[in-house]
Amino acid sequence: MSTESPLQLTNRDFKINTHEFGEESLEDKIQGRLRYYYSRRLFVQSVEYDPEEEFLSATVGITYPQDVSDSRDGQNVLKMVNIGDVETLTASPMGNEYYKFELPPRADLYSAYQEKHEKLLDELDWSMAKAIYSRVYQLNPVRNQLNSIVQIVNWVRREDKLTVEDIQDAQSNDNTEKYIQALEDLGFLKVEGNNVRHGRKIDSADLQNLTPDKFEKKIMGDIVVDGYYMLRKELGLRMLNHFPVFANAYYISAFRREKSNLWLTIDDVVENLSTEYNRDEGRLAVEDKLRDLARVGVLEFENGEVSGHPDIYREVQQDAPIIG
Amino acid sequence: MTVNLAHFSKPPSEREVLRYALKNILSDYADQHDELPFNADDPDLDTLTDHRINFGGNYSQLVARLDNRFDGTSFEVNSDDHLDIEDLQGIFTNSTASYPLVEVHPELYEYQAQKDESPETYVIQRGHHGETLVPLLIPFSVEEESVFYYDPFLDYYANENAPTQKISRGLFIELWGRCDLTSWALWVDQGQQRTLMDINEAQS
């Protein structure tokens, strides 16, 4: 078979003769062809090759450049963001140490990448939400959106014989029943028949003898941590990840650069929102959010530039996924 | 050797390097070749490379789409690997050919950092899988001792025009050959076509 070429790329598949290449070179050659076919940003993360079992597979990721230069420092820094484990392509053996990779459509690989990227951002937002919740809770938009939940918690602590109807009558909110259900599911309320009482999680917070302000902050923090996805996705409480997303539009660069006091311009943050979150937000609106976040100690804001807060940086970093 | 890069456009973002490198070689070529079905304001540049944000574009569709675009003209897109430095030199001296796009091994940046001659530099940080940037360059000229090239990232960072970069001929051959696409280039020419898809690759 020596007349046949060791590497053949067509529009459907890619054949390789493993006999011709050493382990490192095999990875390199597979990467060269897949990069040519799919994206010049693709990388082969690992190759699994077992000649005995006639097994060959390649796990691929996507790497892209992000400008993470500090706006107060002259050095230009380009971070190569690595999004790994996007897809594993398995080849079929064709005999004589030839293997064939059927090439899935480019759009499929792109979707796999997007899913992976979104999942990482979602985890990052969740870590940020937990870290900054008690601070952003002071901000009006967040507080307003959670007000119905705060009311329910306060009422069940005050009144012993509340019914679902009592609460519904007192709130001009279509979601009241869903909130009650969610709080029951999470263990904050106990609903027996038509009666609504405080559940075990409210009871245990009560044991701490906190001032009313601190109690509210504590119990709302617990509710957000335990019900982040449910409240946001099922009950439409978008404010829960609203501020975390704006905070991460700054912190994503700081984490990638591994520098908690990285200075960015507002335009840099606007660009991160667009390239990472696929959100087109106006510069003025973004500046407002950054100022809000600075006011409650999530960020530093000075002369139109943003920097991180070391405590927030440390706390989120311990918990967040590696995002590149 | 200095080449005037003033007519090259600077990538507006660090993620649009391929698109702008392509735009630069094609608009430079269209300057000399009126009949080329391309102009600098071409809105289809992203489509040509199948560019998607963060995911980037690819060469195989670029070749197929340029092929389509050039159908019925004398222009051909060439994409070939295992080229010699003389092949590259031939592209520069051939008046019917465009400047080529080439890729070289990422170690280029380590050599550049050691050299550190230019004030317009940038530092590359690897990602957590250790992957780094595969440099995409537009070489201009091969001389006895040096190869001169344009680096779109430098242009992105430069305040004025991007400075012409220089690398020793031997080091260029080494880094060009060590790339996962071995000694590869993409360029436009009139006449015979060479493409990587379905071409035989000898063992390197």
The domain segmentation of chain A, as residue ranges, is 7-104, 127-135+239-319, 143-234
Q: How many CB atoms lie within 10 A of CB B153?
A: 24
> Is pLDDT above 50 for A208?
yes
Of all residues in chain A, the one with the smallest CA distance to B103 is A40
Do A143-234 and A127-135+239-319 fall under one CATH topology?
yes
Contacts 24+ apart (CB under 8 A), A276-279: A276/A121, A276/A249, A276/A252, A276/B54, A277/A121, A277/A245, A277/A249, A278/B53, A279/A245
Are B18 and A40 in contact (CB < 8 Å)?
A: yes
pLDDT of residue B50: 81
Q: Is B20 on the interface with A (CB under 8 A)?
A: no
Q: How many CB atoms lie within 10 A of CB A17?
A: 21
Do the beta carbons of residue A7 and residue B196 sit within 8 Å? Answer: no
Confidence of residue A203 (pLDDT cuts 50, 70, 90): very high
Q: Is B116 on the interface with A (CB under 8 A)?
A: no
Nearest-Cα distance to chain A for B10, in Å, is 15
Helix, strand and coil percent figures for chain A, each rounded to 5: 50, 25, 25
pTM: 0.88
Burial class (CB in 10 A: 0-12, 13-18, 19+), B71: exposed
Nearest to B48 by CA among B74, B70, B80: B70
Q: Rounded to whole angstroms, what are the CA distances from B129 to A60, A114, A209?
A: 11, 18, 48
More confident residue, A75 or A291: A291
Q: Which CATH number does A127-135+239-319 carry?
A: 1.10.10.10
State mean pLDDT over A200-212. 91
Which H or E run includes A115? helix A106-136
All structural domains of chain B, each given as residue ranges with its CATH number in brackets, are 17-190 (3.90.70)
Are A79 and B127 in contact (CB < 8 Å)?
A: yes
Rounded Cα gap, residues A213 and A13, in angstroms: 64
pLDDT of residue B200: 39
Are B179 and A36 in contact (CB < 8 Å)?
A: no
Per-residue pLDDT of chain B (204 residues; tens, 9 = 90+): 456 677 788 899 999 999 999 999 999 999 889 899 988 777 777 788 888 888 989 999 999 999 999 988 999 999 999 999 999 999 988 889 999 999 999 999 888 877 766 556 889 999 999 999 999 999 999 999 999 999 999 899 888 777 788 999 999 999 999 999 999 999 999 986 666 654 433 333
Q: Half-sphere exposure of A155 toward its Cβ, with a 13 Å CA cutoff?
A: 20
Q: Which CATH number does A143-234 carry?
A: 1.10.10
Q: Is the ipTM of this complex over 0.95?
A: no
Q: How many CB pairs under 8 A join A and B?
A: 139
pLDDT of residue B199: 43
State mean pLDDT over A84-107. 95
What residues of A are in contact with residue B53 (Cβ under 8 Å)?
275, 278
Nearest-Cα distance to chain A for B110, in Å, is 14
Nearest-Cα distance to chain B for A229, in Å, is 27
